[in-house]
Amino acid sequence: MHKNPFSFSVIIAMALLFTVNLAAQTSPEVIKNWTALEEAEFHFDVSYSIVKCSPNSKAVVLLNAFNEDGTNPKVGFTLNFSDDNGNTAVVKITPFKTKLGDMFIASCDSSKYSNLKFDYPEKIDLKTMKIEITYQTGL
C-alpha cells in the first residue's frame, strides 16, 4: 500500500501539537481540599478549598455555596480567619441572589461566581488556620 508522506507528516505534526497543548495545561495545585464550614440554621452550606491556580500564582480560596432550603432570597457571609499565632483576617461575601437548590462553585478556570473566590490571607498560617462563618440574609 502506498502511503502519502505529506499526510503522514500532517498527522505527526497534529499529534505533536496535541501533546504540547496537553502538557501546557496544568491542574490547580490543591493546598487544602474541600472542607465544610458550619451550616446555617436555614440550611445553607458553604465549603472551601485552597488552591494555587497556576504554579506561579498566589494561593486562593474557592468557595462552594449550596442552598438546601430556599427560605432566603439573598445570602451572604463573613469568614473570620485565625491561626495559632494570633493572626486574624476577615473576608465578607456580600449577600447574593439564591433560591432552593442553587449551587455556586468558584473555580480557577472561570470568572463565574468570582464573588466566591479570593486571595488566601497572607498572614494566616495554613497549618493552624481556623475559619468561623457568620451568615447574613437580605431581601
Segment 121-135 mean pLDDT: 96
Residue 104: name the closest of 113, 114, 117, 92 by CA: 113
The domain ranges of the chain are: 28-138
Sign of the dihedral through C-alpha 101, 114, 139, 45 = positive
**pLDDT class for 27, splitting at 50, 70, 90?**
confident
pTM metric for this prediction: 0.80
Q: Which helix (H) or strand (E) holds 115?
A: none
What pLDDT digit, counting tens, does each position of 61-113 carry? 999 999 999 999 999 999 999 999 999 999 999 999 999 999 999 999 999 99
CB < 8 Å & 24+ apart, contacts of 93-98: 93/63, 95/136, 95/137, 95/138, 97/73, 98/44, 98/65, 98/67, 98/70, 98/72, 98/73, 98/74
Task: Determine what percent of the chain is predicted with pLDDT higher than 90.
Answer: 78
Provide the pLDDT for residue 30: 96
Average pLDDT, the chain: 86
Helix (H, G, I), strand (E, B) or coil at 87: coil
Whether residue 5 is predicted with pLDDT greater than 90 in this model: the reply is: no
Provide the pLDDT for residue 15: 44
Structurally, at CATH architecture level, domain 28-138 sits in: Sandwich (2.60)
Phi, psi of 97, deg, nearest 5: -65, 135
